[in-house]
Structure 1
Amino acid sequence: MSTQHLHGASLAPSAVDTAPGKEPSAAPGPTGRAGAGGRRTGRRRPGNAPRRWEIYLPLGLYLLFTLVPFYWMLVFALRPNGSTSLLPWPITFEHFETVWYDLGYSTFFWNSVWVGVASLFTTTVIALAGGYALARYPFRGRNIFLLALLCTQFIPGAMMLIPLFEIFRTLGLINSLWSLVVAETVFQLPLSLILISGFVRNIPMELEEAAWVDGCSRFQAFRAIVLPMLTPGLIAVGSFAFIGAWNNFLFALMFVNEQESYTIPVGLSYTLGEYSVDFGALAAGGVVAALPVVAIFAVIQRYLVRGMSAGAVKG
């Protein structure tokens, strides 16, 4: 038998496959399914897609690592003194009453709110004006100026304490909450300016030019076109300014020496005694300090995500 005959016989369909009245079976496709008359053999994961446990296991470990300290803070704040229970039962609010009324946290809380809101307002307004100018008005040395703003983020605040203290002492701002507002605004502005200028650059200039053609002034076009599109970015910048002012301990400790002007971080430090620590009061004060921050981020979370692409235009 010749070689050509053997090859022809091997390539020919079998008698079973070509029997009358029976469709030839199709080979399984790349998706793991059989042909039209075949049975399903299962699905394959597309490409190198991770398995479900590969996603949820690291996320679960990270969530556990993050929430355990907060859980212990709640346990110490809600359980009675001397209790060693792993659960806050029976629940007591005596620690909150102690820190709010006896230790003056009601005053510390509203001082922190005032400093945070004032810092948010001043930082956002100045960053909005400066960021718009950096994005829309070309001038010589603009890139160098932006680089200098970025480099200021590498300077620790502790290095500026003595110069700032001398300036505030000369201006009569020591023991005034305005000293904290000015210091926080100065340290929050560089990053806020960079962020706002980036947001403005993502807004097409053609939109403002169209408003100018329609008779709007530059300010009217800014208010009608740019400002609404910058709302997510402004919320992101303002939230960072508020959180920075709320959590700052160093400036509040150095520039404020009177108890009626303390903020919450300084008030927390005074719950630590020389020879003992009231863990219940300390934990209750931590809960009071953390709750506003958690509530703010829960409300503005969607704006923070949108703020990273503020002004983007679909292509």
Structure 2
Amino acid sequence: MATEVITRRPAEVRTGATAPRPRRKDRGRVLRLHIPLVLYLVFTLVPFYWMIVFALRPTGSTAPVPWPITFEHFDTVWNDIGYAVFFQNSVIVGVLSLFFTTVIALMGGYALSRFRFRGRTAFMVALLCTQFIPGAMMLIPLFTIFRGLGLINSLWSLVVADTVFNLPLSIILMSGFVSAVPFQVEEAAMVDGCTRMRAFFAVVLPQLRPGLIAVGSFAFIHTWNNFLFALMFISKQDNFTIPVGLSYTIGEYSADFGALAAGGVVAAIPVVCVFAVIQRYLVHGISAGAVKG
């Protein structure tokens, strides 16, 4: 038997008992799929590459590669321009907006998903329609309201404005996440003696973690990048956020591109980290409420 096996192996190799080669059609499909993706990736990453180059190369250098590497632009932005204060203000506004948006969207999404009331469909349509209204159209009414409330030059004006503009889409998204959780598990908890609120916190809320993270991340990113509201409602430099603070590195006749790029790199780090969290939970978010039989 050993001799027979040994004599068969070369025959199997000769007859092509290896993994089949990809067909021409498969190769063409791979090329049609990957070439556009590579081109899009290059188109997207080239601006980020040049931002890093400007941030790390010395002033006056025109080299396409940042060498020798210097951190003088980061020192200028952080200490001379006051970027540390801008960063702190952006974090405060972003975290508060994230918190209020997530809590209110959770309550609104649960109500839209679990209760049937008159005007529910019209309310959801109205929420969708608000996404077609540009924020610039609301600047004058919001400025008048905030001036009457004494919120001009206060970070609370940005928190309120960003939360209001984040809520419509957040409520709709949260409603979908709540609907993915079967109502039967909630009913079973109430049959066992739980109140609706206790059943919600014990059964529903743990399964909404991907939805809460996704909604909160979207709210944080939108608030972090918002330039228009911060420019209109804040005039004191101590209350500037990152987008407005970076705009002041551009003068009337010149611009400090190194400092501008360094500030952009620092501003992009939290957004990149948040997106790294989002992509994981968005993939699993649709099935977050699934229950095994």
> Among residues 168, 174, 188, which one is paired with 1:196 in the alignment?
174
- Name the structure 2 match of 1:157: 135
Is this contact kept in 2: 1:73–1:286, CA < 8 A? yes
Q: Alpha-carbon deviation of 1:205?
A: 0.8
Is this contact kept in 2: 1:235–1:307, CA < 8 A? no
**Pairing 1:291-310 to 2, within 5 Å after superposition:** 291-310=269-288
RMSD between aligned residues: 2.0
Structure-1 separation of matches of 2:277 and 2:22: 40
Show structure 2 runs of 5+ residues with no match: 1-11
- Which amino acid counterpart does residue 272 of structure 1 have in structure 2? I
CA deviation map 1:169-195 (0-9, x unaligned): 010000000000000010000001111
> Among residues 33, 51, 64, which one is paired with 2:29 in the alignment?
51
Q: Given the two structures, how large is their TM-score scaled by the length of structure 1?
A: 0.84
User: Do structure 1's residue 280 and structure 2's residue 280 form an aligned pair?
Assistant: no
- Name the structure 1 match of 2:3: none
Q: Alpha-carbon deviation of 1:121?
A: 0.1
User: Do structure 1's residue 119 and structure 2's residue 97 form an aligned pair?
Assistant: yes
Is this contact kept in 2: 1:115–1:181, CA < 8 A? yes
Matched residue SS, 2:238: helix
Q: Given the two structures, how large is their TM-score scaled by the length of structure 2?
A: 0.90
Is this contact kept in 1: 2:180–2:286, CA < 8 A? no
The percentage of aligned residue pairs carrying the same residue is 72
Q: Which has the larger radius of gyration?
A: 1
Show structure 1 runs of 5+ residues with no match: 1-35
Higher relative contact order (CA 8 A, sep 6+): 2
Structure-1 separation of matches of 2:66 and 2:286: 40
> Among residues 102, 115, 140, which one is paired with 1:137 in the alignment?
115
CA deviation map 1:150-175 (0-9, x unaligned): 00000000000000001100100000
Which of the pair is proportionally richer in helix?
2
Specify whether residues 107 and 86 from structure 1 end up closer, same or farther in structure 2 by C-alpha distance, changes over 3 A only.
same
Is this contact kept in 2: 1:150–1:190, CA < 8 A? yes
Structure-2 separation of matches of 1:235 and 1:214: 30
Structure-1 separation of matches of 2:209 and 2:27: 36
- Which amino acid counterpart does residue 205 of structure 1 have in structure 2? F
Matched residue SS, 1:277: coil
User: Do structure 1's residue 174 and structure 2's residue 152 form an aligned pair?
Assistant: yes
